Amino acid sequence: MARRSWFVAAFVALLGLAVGGVLFAQMEAGERGILPLDSSGTLEIDGIHVDVGGKDAQSARYSGWRIAQRQGFKMLWAKSHGLPIAQAPSLTDSQLDDIVSSIIVDRERIGPNRYIADLGVLFDRARAGQLLGIPGVSERSQPMVLIPVIVTAGTETSVELRNPWQRAWAEFRTSQSPIDYVRVSGLGADPLLINADQARRPGRNWWRNILDLYGAADILIAEVRIHRAYPGGPAKAQFIGRHGPDGDIVGGFTLTAPNSAAIPQMMAQGVRQMDQLFTAAFNAGALRRDPTLNLPPPPPPPEQPPAEHVPVRYQVQVVTPNAVTYNSALAHLRAVPGVDLVQQVNIGIGDTSYFYVTYRGEPGTLRSILMSRGWGIDISGGLIKMYVPRPAPPPQQQPSSNTTQPAQNKVGAAAGPKAESLVQ
């Protein structure tokens, strides 16, 4: 029996170590966690296509980047001022070198003496803002935690594993967006707190904890559903934007990719269009915080009991012609609500008796109670006089008229014969 108990204990311990190892492996997996790019100090212009030649590949590439800087600044100026690109000023290459932070290469083809590429330009916000005459984005939304959800092959994933949808959001530069995104990296406890299942939970208490932990005020859910014709072949993606703890649909769109290699580019385009979708909803006033995310108001304070009256000591004079009146006065005083103490001072049967009464309440209430019990009451300051009111005299009877006697005689006369007949 002892050997069997030892075996069961060892089995339970090994099982616990195995489960703990699995959980540890899930938390420490290296296939998750993409840090979002910090673009708070830059201004971005993308979609610049260059096709330039040169004496060699390096010269052609350098010329292409120069052209991208010039076009990028004009596009940024036109976008900032809302004017045509033709009206944008031209800067020298040395001035552009001072305000350009980096060149983004989306796609490029390099030949022996030709350079073809799709480029983007990042401008330093502080330096470019002085030349543009704008400080940047003036109005932004309240911080909103972003949950990217990708559905592929019937499986929903958010930040639990690395995926092209989360990577596209991590690489998206949000400096010029009016939406203040709070993007999670997927490291640490992120997969346990923010995942695909959390996007469908309506519980407000849990949402409040998440928003407080990440310093956000609202929720945005960017969902994409990918349908592949066959592995490696064309793919169709349906993008859906949701808002709030209940996942209210903001809008959606559909994009396609010719093959699996083009899916990252499709995801990057989907992020840009999703940001435009959220921006349009924000400008229209549709991204309002759900009031149920606010903490419920505290319960009202308990009702305070009415303030107790300070006990007041009264001297009571009672006219007591007999012992019955004295005892009745003493009993009625003791029975009044609010009377704490009745102290007998002087017993004057046939004269006036005195009491000390300690009472909590209004003098008018004491007077009304005693008067309802048949006493006459006079209150003057701290002195109360009690007495038995004199009864009202009975009404006087009017003298009888002379017509009463004949009526009696008539009755007696009428009754006489009948009595005589009874005797007979």
> Rounded to a whole number, what is the largest CA-CA distance in the chain?
173
Q: What are the residue ranges spanned by the domains of the chain?
A: 42-132, 138-293, 312-387
pLDDT of residue 42: 64
State the first-to-last Cα distance of the chain, in angstroms, to the nearest integer: 125
Angle at 213 between CA 209 and CA 216, to 5 degrees: 95
Ramachandran angles phi, psi of 226, nearest 5°: -105, 130
Ramachandran angles phi, psi of 202, nearest 5°: -90, -5
* CA nearest neighbour of 260 among 223, 225, 231, 237: 231
| 168-227 pLDDT per residue, tens | 998 887 877 888 898 888 888 888 888 888 888 888 888 998 998 888 899 999 999 999
Instruction: Report the DSSP beta bridge partners of residue 421.
Output: none
pTM of structure: 0.53
Pairing of strands 144-152, 181-183: parallel
Instruction: Report the DSSP beta bridge partners of residue 357.
Output: 314, 342
Q: Are 407 and 339 within 8 A, CB to CB?
A: no
**Residue 10, Cβ neighbours under 10 Å: how many?**
10
pLDDT of residue 234: 92
Torsion sign (Cα): 314, 315, 318, 323: positive
pLDDT of residue 41: 56
- Give me the CATH topology for the region 312-387: Alpha-Beta Plaits (3.30.70)
Low-confidence ranges of the chain (pLDDT < 50): 1-3, 7-8, 12, 19-27, 29, 136-138, 403-424
The superfamily CATH assigns to domain 138-293 is TolB, N-terminal domain (3.40.50.10070)
Identical fold for domains 138-293 and 312-387, yes or no, is: no
What is the DSSP-derived secondary structure letter of residue 188?
A: T
pLDDT of residue 237: 94
